């Protein structure tokens, strides 16, 4: 089996019941510091040629798949997905130069005086939407004034991957995205659960509550299988109305793109079913909040060899490299929190009192342990 870390911590979750306030400043500054540690990449002739080749590939593959439209997408600093819809007749042109956006209109720490922000698609991410198969979804890299936007979330991850590669390391991740299914007719300011029978005091793994949402959950899993993600289990989680679907780990960038598409897919299918899905950290004060647990492992590029194995039993089997990696995560945990918990609502989850089920499952201290779910970093 794969040796992993499990970071029991919250990754950025877009709140549908907006709670963006002064914490936005902290989040932007933190991400900007990460970006500042890497040089922004100018669009060299080589990169421009690659963009042209990618545009042709997108148009060719899209035509073969019968796509009529393409959704050029990116996420801002709060994980909110932004996009433009491009007709097939213009996709090669727009893909080569990038779809234009006003950066100030999204949470990207830009002002109205700045020029156009261009979303340049990654051809490898072209995915026909399973629930709207004539539309192809694309994850994009952000470019501003012929330079990759240093603090664009996808660019930040790509820059960190490049720095890891310099050390002979590749990062692979898997995630556990939790979400609530709410009553679609309830006002956004007063969310309500969609299943009146989901009332158990300890609802985690409740078979009946899971199967009452069989149609939606099974459709999601089927779509994920169609996309080749390798979903392997779905369950009802620790709060009433809360669910989770797990899929196979992969390269960190691949997983990040899939998280964005997963959230989009869950919300879209929930709306079609008359429900509302939210990944908000803490929509209900009395119930367990939603997290996005990250399974993280270090590998040798090319061979895929796991570099975390081979340590002493008293160190939970972690290699010296993995121990150093763990130490770094613990040392930087306070700063990482600005990235992983970007809204006030995030801290309502982390600082929550006991929930109705008996636990919050959200650590408040920078600790690591073996198979102990109360630690920030768990080595199962």
Per-residue pLDDT tens digits for 128-147: 999 999 999 999 999 999 99
pLDDT at 275: 98
pLDDT at 339: 86
pLDDT at 25: 53
pLDDT at 10: 40
pLDDT at 359: 80
pLDDT at 353: 78
Residue pair 177/259 in contact by the 8 Å Cβ criterion = yes
pLDDT at 7: 57
User: And the tokens for 47?
Assistant: 């990169």
Q: Which residues contact 295 (CB under 8 A, 6 or more apart)?
A: 4, 5, 6, 7, 173, 174, 175, 176, 249
pLDDT at 351: 79
Question: What is d(CA 161, CA 251) in angstroms, rounded to the nearest whole number?
Answer: 10
pLDDT at 380: 85
Closest C-alpha to 71, from 58, 84, 59: 84
Q: Which residues of the chain have a pLDDT value below 70?
A: 1-51
Residue pair 107/76 in contact by the 8 Å Cβ criterion = yes
pLDDT at 20: 47
pLDDT at 49: 61
């Amino acid at each position: 089996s794969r040796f992993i870390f499990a970071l029991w911590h919250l990754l950025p979750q877009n709140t549908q019941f907006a709670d963006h306030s002064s914490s936005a400043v902290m989040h932007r500054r933190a991400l900007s510091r990460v970006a500042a540690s890497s040089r922004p990449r100018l669009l060299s002739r080589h990169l421009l040629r690659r963009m042209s080749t990618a545009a042709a590939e997108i148009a060719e593959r899209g035509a073969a798949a019968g796509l009529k439209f393409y959704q050029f997408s990116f996420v801002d600093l709060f994980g909110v997905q932004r996009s433009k819809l491009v007709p097939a007749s213009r996709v090669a042109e727009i893909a080569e130069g990038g779809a234009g956006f006003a950066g100030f209109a999204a949470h990207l720490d830009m002002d109205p005086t700045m020029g156009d922000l261009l979303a340049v698609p990654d051809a490898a991410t072209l995915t026909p939407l399973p629930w709207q198969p004539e539309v192809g979804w694309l994850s994009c890299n952000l470019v501003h004034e012929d330079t990759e936007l240093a603090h664009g979330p996808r660019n930040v991850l790509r820059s960190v991957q490049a720095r890891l590669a310099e050390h002979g390391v590749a990062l692979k991740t898997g995630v556990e995205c939790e979400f609530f299914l709410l009553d679609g007719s309830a006002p956004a300011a007063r969310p309500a659960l969609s299943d009146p029978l989901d009332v158990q005091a300890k609802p985690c793994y409740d078979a009946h509550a899971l199967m009452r949402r069989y149609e939606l959950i099974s459709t999601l899993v089927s779509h994920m299988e169609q996309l080749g993600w390798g979903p392997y289990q779905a369950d009802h989680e620790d709060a009433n109305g809360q669910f989770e679907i797990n899929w196979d780990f992969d390269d960190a960038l691949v997983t990040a793109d899939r998280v964005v598409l997963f959230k989009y897919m869950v919300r879209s299918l929930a709306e079609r079913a008359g429900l509302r899905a939210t990944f908000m950290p803490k929509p209900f004060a009395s119930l367990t909040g939603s997290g996005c647990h990250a399974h993280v492992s270090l590998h040798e590029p090319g061979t895929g060899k796991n570099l975390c194995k081979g340590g002493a039993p008293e160190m939970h089997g972690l290699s010296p490299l993995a121990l150093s990696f763990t130490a770094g995560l613990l040392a930087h945990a306070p700063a990482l929190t600005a990235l992983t918990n970007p809204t006030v609502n995030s801290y309502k989850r982390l600082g929550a009192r006991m929930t109705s089920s008996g636990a919050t499952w959200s650590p408040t201290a920078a600790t690591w342990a073996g198979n102990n779910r109360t630690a920030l970093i768990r080595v199962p």
